[in-house]
Structure 1
Amino acid sequence: MRALGLRADEADQARLRNEARAASVEAGLRRRDELAAEQHDDVDDDAIEGIRAQLQGRLDRYRRRLDVLQGAERGEVPMSPEYEAALRVRRAVLDAQREELLHRRDVGRLPDEGLRRLERELDHEEGRLPARR
């Protein structure tokens, strides 16, 4: 595409990102399987199983998103109603978490330093969400 002077549109870029996300999770799952085959204790077994479930959930989401993107019109970045609802709920939950942290700080149950650290965590989580349209 570069040689021809063409640029990928938003939908193409979204597809590439989701393909890369899925590939990276698949690599993580392969590594998790290697770890599971090694000798370790019950604590490690629990951690390895927890990671498998988490990664599999991500992979399923990325594959569903790719299915939606594959059917998109040229240049369009579609969002399914389920995806939009999940984003709305996620943002509402983050807002409630922030409100609770501020309340705890205001009543003296959370020092400013703790508030800042926890707000950064929430900011990072929110930053992973797509920009609002």
Structure 2
Amino acid sequence: MITVYSQPGCQPCNATKRAFDRAGIDFGEVDVTASPESLAYVKSLGYAATPVVVVERGDSVEHWSGYRPDLIRAQTRIKDSVDARPQSPNDVRRQLDRRLEVRSPKRTSPPPTPRRMSQAR
């Protein structure tokens, strides 16, 4: 679950929310000016400016402050890896065959025979 702690008129907050929207990532938004509890939580994390993004995934919690397109892209990659469709054994076999062809192309002619160099007289 992703939560963006923001406040009205905050341009980095707006940029962060737009980036999540563009990436198709669901998030919740909390206005720290309307909720003293959320402001206290953000301060307890060590932040004094918005936006503060909190990502909770299972037992792990990641958080950052400010507009961070690099970290938003990382969340997009995580989302894409979770959304990826499972592959059938035949798909995996085809991909492996293609990789092996690239690494070791089939020879159509025999390898050249080494020539002996004649000794100079």
**Under a length normalisation based on structure 2, what TM-score does the superposition of the two structures give?**
0.23
Higher strand share: 2
**Under a length normalisation based on structure 1, what TM-score does the superposition of the two structures give?**
0.22
Whichever of the two has the greater Rg, that structure is 2
